[in-house]
Structure 1
Amino acid sequence: MNKTIIILLLGFCLIICQTNTSRAQLKEKKVFLLAGQSNMDGRANGDKINPEDLERLAKISDRIHFYYNRKPVAPLKLTTPKEYHQKKFNITHSFGPEIFFGIQLAERFPDEEFIFIKRAKGGTSLYGCWNPEWTEEKAALVNEVHQPKLFYDFIDFTNNTLTNYQPDQYQICAMLWVQGETDSAVKKWGEKPANTYGANLKNLIKTTRDTLNVPNLPFIIFQVGNGKVVDGMKKVAYSDDNTFIIPQSNNPHSEDFYEKNPPPVGHYTAKSMKKIGIEFFKVYESIVNEDTNAMEIAEVQDKNSERNHN
């Protein structure tokens, strides 16, 4: 074999290796879906984040491709609120659970890349906007006839985003949900949105999994709202092995307490929003660890079975 052929073969092998490496990197992209109303959209004051955490964010931001409410994709970053929200909440930058969920996630998995797809809108209900079984009658009950049909918009947004990638270049790993305050407003809307919250949430989870073809998609809920809405969240979480709830307590001395800004600003403080993001990560990490342990156990069982067979 002459030198020319050897050089060509080596070059060909190098191209194959580089291609395989590139594909492997693309396959490492993990997709996380985030949805809900204002506390998912994010009303926490981004200017209250300490310099050390901002430095952590800067180090990992380019590994998280952030798709937010149909805006152009960007590295994970703080949000510049609409002028209305800037004046109402006296903030120039805001953030939701994605910032500290993303920091924890990227630091825990330093060799991976991620895709965050977030669709959120303040003041919206599961009974109306987010309902997979939307009807004008339901929307009218909570004054949302002229609001977008957010569930369908969220699914369309997700599908359109993922067309930027080949099917073997990503994996949908989990959905994070922060919504329930509007449906809890019994005095304003009556009891029907709260009483049906559990059934509507169960349907949203199932329809999301079916539509995106991820049957066991982990669904992580941050407990918000009160009364029958919280009862519905817990019932769904406790009856579905792949649905999880992060509890919240009204007791200031509880580890599950999340401080809010005083009225009229309301919503969670920056410290609480940081904690919410970290709690979302803790739940996801426990899912990953459980799956890893299950795989390790299966591998041991396979080896023992093979050894016994031999």
Structure 2
Amino acid sequence: MFQTIKTACIVCSTVAGTLITSHVQADTNPVVDVFILAGQSNMVGAGDPQNLPDHLAQFIDPNPNVMFRSWLNGAEYGTDWGPLEPRGSSNFGPEMMFGNVLSDVHPDRTIAFMKIAYNGTNLACAWNPEGCGLNLFATLVETIDEWKEELEDLNYTVRFAGFVWVQGEGDCTALWAATPYGDNLMALIDGVRTAAGASKMPAVVAKVNPRTSSYPYVDVVHEGMDNVATNDPKVATVTCKTIELKADDIHFSSTGMITLGAALGDTMLGLDPFGLAEEFEACPSDLNVDGEVNVLDILQMISEFGPCP
């Protein structure tokens, strides 16, 4: 009964808001909610459709509800705003399932992803707003501006809704890079928010978890990520400890990319990226009570409850 009342209230308030503002919005362009996705190799994506179990294949089908542009390792893939799909090579990253989660929960919204990622890079230098070496932050800002203009040329009003950061491996190898990770991450998020003109834009950070001896400072990087999330209510982290990796123990497997995308999407929705002031409850975790949180729990959740919330 409470749910019925709540739904009725939402409908009434929506109708009332439409009556009050319709004369203002009648001549405006449609709004597109833009999410910026950035990072290194696990954002570039090493997911291979050929290695994806059949029951997960639907999650990498082209998604016409999300527009997509990508710039990967110095090359721009595609020259137009096509549907979200594996582009360039057949590989995919977390964006596929991330897009499924957002568009399933909000099918009425127009969504676009800007993905900028580069293999083997660190935050201490390459992505640092101060810039050194390969200045990817400058590339990020320039690309955001360019693609924003393209969307405006398509008669959209651009609203930046969220930032997703999948990176950290490049800073886990050396203490000089790992120690200031929290400060560097906050500077990056602030810089992206400034570039987007959205000072309170939500950000979700994946706590990547390479498991080889070549990355001895993972815990230091994770601590920096957690500190940023603790001090900014619009930043949240996603643990990757139970997400499946490839044999190299560094890169997420095809199934792992689906799991990561689902976790990023659920966490982003909890930060209210569309400005709806709704509180989304976290999805149940170990749904099948097997002692692990993995893609099987996500599939069972979708089957029994539908997408979050």
The answer to whether 1:203 aligns with 2:187 is yes
Give 1:56 deviation, angstroms.
5.5
Counterpart for residue 216 of structure 1: 200
The answer to whether 1:232 aligns with 2:235 is no
Q: Which secondary structure state, in structure 2, belongs to the residue aligned with residue 217 of structure 1?
A: coil
Structure 1 window deviating more from structure 2 (111-120 vs 281-290): it is 281-290
Give 1:21 deviation, angstroms.
7.1
Q: Cα–Cα, structure 1 residues 129 and 294, in superposed 2: closer, same or farther, change >3 Å?
A: same
1:115-165 deviation line (CA, Å, top 9, x unaligned): 100000110000111010123xxxxxxxxx3xx311110111011000023
The answer to whether 1:284 aligns with 2:268 is yes
Q: What amino acid maps onto 2:223 in structure 1?
A: D
1:19-75 deviation line (CA, Å, top 9, x unaligned): x77856x21x110000000000101112233556544654x6222111100332321
Separation (CA, whole Å) in 2 of partners of 1:122 and 1:260: 17
Q: Which secondary structure state, in structure 1, belongs to the residue aligned with residue 162 of structure 2?
A: strand
Identical residues among aligned pairs (%): 25
Counterpart for residue 192 of structure 1: 176
Separation (CA, whole Å) in 2 of partners of 1:230 and 1:176: 16
Structure 1 gap ranges (5+): 1-16, 82-92, 136-144, 250-256, 296-310
Q: What amino acid maps onto 1:126 in structure 2?
A: L
Whether the aligned pair in 1 keeps the contact of 2:44 and 2:117 (CA below 8 Å) is yes
Q: Which secondary structure state, in structure 1, belongs to the residue aligned with residue 170 of structure 2?
A: coil
The answer to whether 1:179 aligns with 2:167 is yes
1:157 to 115, 139, 143: 143
The answer to whether 1:246 aligns with 2:231 is no
Q: Cα–Cα, structure 1 residues 53 and 227, in superposed 2: closer, same or farther, change >3 Å?
A: closer
- The 4+ residue runs of structure 1 with deviation greater than 6 A are none
1:261 to 227, 246, 250: 246
Q: Cα–Cα, structure 1 residues 232 and 48, in superposed 2: closer, same or farther, change >3 Å?
A: same
Q: How do residues 77-226 of structure 1 correspond to structure 2 at under 5 angstroms? A: 77-81=85-89, 93-135=90-132, 145=133, 148-166=134-152, 169-186=157-174, 191-225=175-209, 226=218
Higher helix share: 1
Q: What amino acid maps onto 2:266 in structure 1?
A: K
Separation (CA, whole Å) in 2 of partners of 1:275 and 1:243: 20
Q: What amino acid maps onto 1:160 in structure 2?
A: E
| TM-score normalized with structure 1 length | 0.71
Separation (CA, whole Å) in 1 of partners of 2:60 and 2:245: 23
Whether the aligned pair in 1 keeps the contact of 2:207 and 2:237 (CA below 8 Å) is yes
2:40 to 13, 21, 37: 37
Q: Which secondary structure state, in structure 2, belongs to the residue aligned with residue 160 of structure 1?
A: helix
Higher strand share: 2
Counterpart for residue 8 of structure 1: none
> Which of 1 and 2 has greater Rg?
1
Q: Cα–Cα, structure 1 residues 292 and 227, in superposed 2: closer, same or farther, change >3 Å?
A: same
Separation (CA, whole Å) in 1 of partners of 2:96 and 2:188: 25
Give 1:266 deviation, angstroms.
4.4
2:256 to 245, 254, 272: 272
CA RMSD of aligned residues (A): 2.5
Q: Cα–Cα, structure 1 residues 209 and 49, in superposed 2: closer, same or farther, change >3 Å?
A: same
Separation (CA, whole Å) in 2 of partners of 1:285 and 1:196: 28
| TM-score normalized with structure 2 length | 0.71
Separation (CA, whole Å) in 2 of partners of 1:199 and 1:131: 10
Q: Cα–Cα, structure 1 residues 121 and 245, in superposed 2: closer, same or farther, change >3 Å?
A: same
Separation (CA, whole Å) in 2 of partners of 1:219 and 1:287: 8
Separation (CA, whole Å) in 1 of partners of 2:268 and 2:239: 15
Q: What amino acid maps onto 2:91 in structure 1?
A: S
